[in-house]
Amino acid sequence: MKKNLLREVRAVLPAEVNLAQVDIWFQDEMRIGQRGTQTRLWARKGTRPRVVRQQLLESAYIFGAVCAERDTAVGLVLPNADTQTMAHHLQAISAAVPEGRYAVVLLNRAGWHTTTKLPRLPNLTLLPLPTGSPELNPTEQVWQQLRDRSLANRCYDSYEQIVDVCCDAWNAFTQIPGAILSLCTRAWANPSITDGML
């Protein structure tokens, strides 16, 4: 994928779209809920801190997409990960693409990403990443940042609290100037840098 990205992007672009108009976006989703994740804690040497872990099943999904070149992101907190919620997220990404620009959205091959039931939007195209390659998707690092800073080692009283905490964590991270640019930039995924490589 790294070596052939421009070739693959050109293959999925509509004929009227110039490569100079293209922005590369990465998309993924993460489940957050009452049966959450645990992460490392600072503690006095020689002690073992205790962390409460719930066994309930309420959860929500953060759908996130990042465009490192523009240092921007689009996120939604939704109750499920399915075709309908994916369609909502694609519409939100489409609305965030500046006038005159075109988005190629790189994502994994989850069933709700590859279904033909997703809407066709005039300013974006989906491009699946190779199977079993989460390391190519920088949104994985975004999820790790959110867990480490805000979402791990927590208990939630209700679905509404899960949604509120997810929104707060996403907004706090994406409002840091340069956070997306520094964490999600991949030289191989920047058309202006890699255009001369083919």
Q: Show pLDDT as tens, one digit a residue, over the chain (198 residues).
A: 667 888 898 899 998 998 899 999 999 999 988 555 656 667 788 887 766 664 556 889 999 999 999 999 999 999 999 999 999 999 999 999 999 999 999 999 999 999 999 999 999 999 999 988 889 999 999 999 999 888 887 778 889 999 999 999 999 999 999 999 999 999 888 755 444 433
Residue 196 confidence (pLDDT): 43
Q: What is the count of structural domains for the chain?
A: 1
Position 196 in a domain: no
Position 40 in a domain: no
Residue 87 confidence (pLDDT): 97
Position 155 in a domain: yes
* CB environment 150-174: b (16+ within 10 A), e (fewer): bbbbbebeeeeebbebbeebbeebb
Residue 155 confidence (pLDDT): 78
Neighbouring residues of 74: CB distance < 8 A, sequence distance ≥ 6: 64, 65, 89, 92, 93, 96
Position 70 in a domain: yes
Helix (H) or strand (E) holding 197: none
Position 97 in a domain: yes
Residue 190 confidence (pLDDT): 74
Position 51 in a domain: no
Residue 194 confidence (pLDDT): 45
Q: Token pair for residue 3?
A: 């070596």
Position 195 in a domain: no
User: Does the reported pTM lie above 0.75?
Assistant: yes
Residue 34 confidence (pLDDT): 56
Position 75 in a domain: yes
Residue 191 confidence (pLDDT): 59
Domain span at 27:
5-14+22-34+56-187
Nearest alpha carbon to residue 102 among 5, 13, 8: 13
Neighbouring residues of 7: CB distance < 8 A, sequence distance ≥ 6: 198
CATH number, domain containing residue 135:
3.30.420.10
Q: What does each C-alpha distance from 127 to 7, 12, 13, 144 come to in angstroms? A: 12, 8, 10, 23
Q: Quick one: angle between helices 139-146 and 159-174, nearest 10?
A: 120
d(CA 142, CA 134): 12
